[in-house]
Homo-oligomer: A and B are copies of this chain.
Amino acid sequence: MSFNSFGRLFRVTTWGESHGPALGATVDGCPPRVGIDESMIQHWLDRRKPGQSRHTTQRREPDRVRILSGVFEGQTTGTPVQLMIENMDQRSKDYGDIAEKFRPGHADMTYWQKYGIRDYRGGGRSSARETAARVAAGGLARAALAGLLPDLRITGYMVQIGRHRIDRARFDAAEIERNPFWCPDAGAAELWAGYLDEVRKDRNSVGAVVEVRASGLPAGLGAPVYGKLDTDLAAAMMSINAVKGVEIGEGMAAAELTGEANADEIFPGENGQPVYSSNHAGGILGGISTGQDVVLRFAVKPTSSIMRPRSTVTKAGEPAEIVTRGRHDPCVGIRAVPVAEAMMACVLLDHYLLHRGQIGAGPVPLG
């Protein structure tokens, strides 16, 4: 069943709670002879690490990954790779308020209703900390993809915080790594910095929209009808904490288009591969990649752990008020960017392996 797994041939199971001894990812099905070491995975974890600017949680975790299995003399062996991150910043603090009361908008209540028990320390399994394990698995997937699809580039970035969207005309990929928001629009980044300072001062939080783009992917990955590439990508993004919507290509706006406007016209290209006049489809038709950029977006709701009082109930069922103190992200969407890239890498690798398994070859040329 694997409630906590994703992928089929490249299969990732994450485990661990926010304030337990450790968390990690058990990765089964990674191809053998992929060059990998801890520093290569650490590189991606460091991008996700909290506390890198004033706009993310000030919890400081070194997030050092250890490879416990499946790698020998710098190469994967084809057996399960265990990626473990020990939790260091387990301050002995008083969790009493969260232990007894449920945070509105948080998984506190539903975990309790489902399991009748919850590890309330730092959100336990529902903590955004779980996503560190996904980033580690994504680092391994990227290493495998580097050999299999050397032209593939996966890039995530923010396109909206609160009501403030980027200006697509000012899109500059080089900007993405230059600001703490993964923002491709320098002007928007500046505006967001001021806006988030206000939100934080207001003891509030705010939502965001992240876009992820994969270029250099061959045509033919994916499958009808439930093994669709977009189905798996939508599931992968929706599985990230706090995500409430996912779009491929035109996304929700596709509703407003006519068939004529939405059609990506086709022209003959090189090597029997078609070229397209546009990419309304977001690189996926009928659940299968077209060879164009795969483009998706998802919305992250505002953190529910805020320092403003909200009505709630206690475990005993009594009415109460709650204020969540502590080191919380004013915009948790920021840290979702590297997580989404990692999920994209895992899904694309999985579909590459599935395609190779069923078909054993690249895209069929025309002519």
Contacts and interface: CB of A to CB of B under 8 A. Distances in A.
Given A105-B280, A116-B33, A207-B255, A267 B313 contact: yes
A187 interface: no
Given A224-B125, A238-B230, A317 B82 contact: no
A339 to B, nearest CB: 12
9 contacts: A1-B227, A15-B28, A20-B68, A33-B115, A77-B119, A105-B280, A110-B222, A226-B235, A317-B366
A312 to B, nearest CB: 5
Nearest to A76: B117
Interface residues of A, number: 164
B1 A2 contact: no
In the complex this chain forms, how many copies of it are found? 4
B239 A244 contact: no
Nearest to A148: B360
A262 B304 contact: yes
Nearest to A120: B72
Nearest to A160: B255
A318 interface: yes
A117 B263 contact: no
A270 to B, nearest CB: 10
A353 interface: yes
Interface stretch (A39-47, A51-59, A172-180, A286-294): A286-294
Contacts of A301: 250, 254-255, 257, 262, 280
